[in-house]
Amino acid sequence: MADTATATAGVDHHDDHGHHESFWSKYCFSTDHKIIGFQYLFTGMAMGLIGGFFSYVFRMHLAFPGSSIPFFGVVSPAAYNSLVTNHGTIMIFWVAMPVLIAALGNFLIPLMIGCDDMVFPKINRLSYQIFLISAIVLIASFFVPQGGFGGAWTAYPPLSAESQYNGTPFGAPMWLIAVTLEIVAFLLGGINFVTTVMNARAKGMKLYDIPMVVWMIVIASILFMASVGPLVAGAVMLLFDQTLGTGFFDPAAGGDPVLWQHLFWFFGHPEVYVVLLPAMGVVIEIICTFSRKKLFGYRMILYSSIGLGILSFFVWAHHQFISGVDPRATYLFTTTTLLISIPVAIMLFAMIGTLWGGSIRFTTPMLFALSFIAEFLIGGVTGIWLGSSGTDIYLHDTYFVLAHFHYTFVPIAIIGTFAAIYYWFPKMFGRQLNEFWGKIHFWGTVIPFNGIFLPLFVLGAAGQHRRIAGFTAYPDLYTENFQDLRVFATGSLIVLILFQIPFFINFIVSLKRGKKAGPNPWKANTLEWVAPSPPPHGNFGDNLPEVYRGPYEFSVEGREDDYWPQNLPEASK
């Protein structure tokens, strides 16, 4: 059936695309999975610049309160709330998800499973169009009267439900509409990803022959689809509270503000793993390629990721230990939070096991992959403290939480993304990024990142609340030692931002002047490296590849080459 699905899909896709398209139809209204992947990638990168600028503004305000911030001006309390809210929203919903899931999923899945396109190319195009509209709505919300939403990215009522509290009567509903549209876009994309992988694999590709990054994107898509329903329902109710005067989350009207927290975090914690799993998959592909080792524990990693996804539905209330939930429930959610660290640890140790004894090459993508493991471990360890109800009561909503959160999400959304771009850039564009500037970019990203967030653990342990716009009003928190840490963290952020300039220059210059890559510059095994670089319309031409083995057959005894592509028959040994 998979062969039939592939062949049938191939006929439909070629008819949809056409070989002689105008610029407008090819790059703006394309149904080609690669172009749609690039659209998600570049839109996510553009939104990342906006989110990064917001972080620069509010960190400068915290370091130098009351000063005029270059390129922005003086930050008012309302502006501070809006900047913090939309920074978090953008980096999660409009950067991490579109790049790690949508961009990589669209570009890689058909190539890595050996088919010519997604099985629903028009739905794929619609997914990006809705996503683009959601981004436009969010950006437009910054320019309405009273500006963008300022009720925190978690949108807790009553702050988010009443304009008299959040001060953004137009920005708040626009924020909700934008998030809802983004969710719809990813639901459509997830349907495509799962259906394509299950029905359009190359001849001979069994389930355990699927590359791990594809598995991770599929599992993440299923997690997203299974968890997002309550949030959509809650978003509709919150929108009605904002615009129609209903009281779903208003205690005075018989509502319950804590209900929103349950609806939000039932989605919000699986969402962490929705973006974590694709990043894990990226790191696995890179580690196997540049250690020239077979993946340690393929099935163990796969089953652990499935177990991780299941457990992620039973930990949400560890975000609510101080919200008034039944104290007996805290024991349950503390236990499940500790349990969920087990599958994550299994996957990380499997990566370390893959590295052990390998012939490691420290290329730029490998450096980012290794730093992902190191940095994410810090986030994981500090998460154990926050998942324990006793310590969370003290640390909740302090800068300790913020530092922990960024030690999980920055390795996922930033370090994982850079690893993927450096690794698959030759396949995407047919040229290689400059290694020297890539390593400059790596060190200029990873070192300042730690300079930003390690001091915040200290501030959080000292009890400093994360949503205070101006510490000058609190003399005990505005001591010289504390303020020096804020200045150091802000300076580190500026250094990190400046070191993104070499990346963008390297990216743009390499598109035209980079060294030509050839089809398989890394000597990897997975099917995307069989196609030309960049892949043409239809990916593989008239002859789709056939699969004879798993994706990680490196350094096979008795074989002259230290890699063995999936499409080479046994006789090639």
- In a domain? residue 333: yes
Structure tokens belonging to residue 334 = 């503390």
- Higher-pLDDT residue of 23 and 331 is 331
pLDDT digit string, tens, across residues 485-540: 999 999 999 999 999 999 999 999 999 999 999 999 999 999 999 999 999 988 99
> Percent of the chain scored above 70 by pLDDT?
96
- Residue 558: pLDDT band by 50, 70, 90 thresholds? confident
- In a domain? residue 12: no
pLDDT for position 168: 93
Q: Which domain holds residue 87?
A: 29-572
pLDDT for position 20: 63
CA atoms in the 13 A half-sphere facing the CB of 442? 23
User: Kindly report the CA angle at 459 between 457 and 463, in degrees rounded to 5?
Assistant: 110
- The single residue listed with the structure tokens 């799993």 is 277
- In a domain? residue 8: no
Give me the amino acid identity at 9: A
Averaged over 158-167, what is the pLDDT? 91
Using a cut of 0.75, tell me whether the model's pTM lies above it. Answer: yes
Question: At residue 15, does pLDDT exceed 70?
Answer: no
pLDDT digit string, tens, across residues 376-396: 999 999 999 999 988 999 999
Beta bridge partners of 546: 203
The 8 Å CB, 24+ separation contacts for 491-495 are 491/63, 491/451, 492/448, 492/449, 492/450, 492/451, 492/452, 493/55, 493/56, 493/59, 493/448, 493/452, 494/56, 495/444, 495/448, 495/451
Beta bridge partners of 68: 74
Q: Could you tell me the CATH number of the domain that includes residue 178?
A: 1.20.210.10
Give the residue ranges of DSSP H helices in 248-363: 257-291, 298-311, 327-355
Helix 480-498 / helix 500-513 crossing angle, nearest 10 deg: 10
pLDDT for position 7: 37
Beta bridge partners of 73: 69
Question: At residue 346, does pLDDT exceed 80?
Answer: yes
- Separation of alpha carbons 241 and 256, rounded Å: 12
pLDDT for position 16: 44
pLDDT for position 542: 82
pLDDT for position 14: 43
Please give the tally of structural domains in the chain. 1
- Tell me the average pLDDT of the chain: 93
- Higher-pLDDT residue of 426 and 558 is 426
pLDDT for position 476: 87
Compute the residue count for the chain.
573
Question: At residue 9, does pLDDT exceed 50?
Answer: no
pLDDT for position 573: 54
pLDDT digit string, tens, across residues 359-381: 999 999 999 999 999 999 999 99
pLDDT digit string, tens, across residues 231-278: 999 999 999 999 999 999 999 899 999 999 999 999 999 999 999 999
Distances (CA, A) of 352 to 296, 365, 388: 9, 16, 27
- Separation of alpha carbons 48 and 377, rounded Å: 24
Task: Please answer whether residues 553 and 212 qualify as being in contact, where contact means their C-beta atoms are separated by less than 8 angstroms.
Answer: no
- In a domain? residue 24: no
- In a domain? residue 466: yes
Structure tokens belonging to residue 530 = 């069989």
Nearest to 271 by CA among 210, 324, 226: 226
Distances (CA, A) of 198 to 4, 64, 176: 12, 54, 33
pLDDT for position 1: 37
pLDDT for position 349: 95
Question: At residue 142, does pLDDT exceed 80?
Answer: yes
- In a domain? residue 6: no
- In a domain? residue 10: no
Number of H helices, E strands in the chain: 20, 4
Nearest to 365 by CA among 165, 498, 522, 545: 522
pLDDT for position 326: 86
pLDDT for position 13: 43
pLDDT for position 572: 54
CA atoms in the 13 A half-sphere facing the CB of 507? 16
- In a domain? residue 278: yes
Nearest to 155 by CA among 91, 61, 224, 249: 249
Question: At residue 541, does pLDDT exceed 90?
Answer: no
- Separation of alpha carbons 36 and 454, rounded Å: 37
- Residue 26: pLDDT band by 50, 70, 90 thresholds? confident
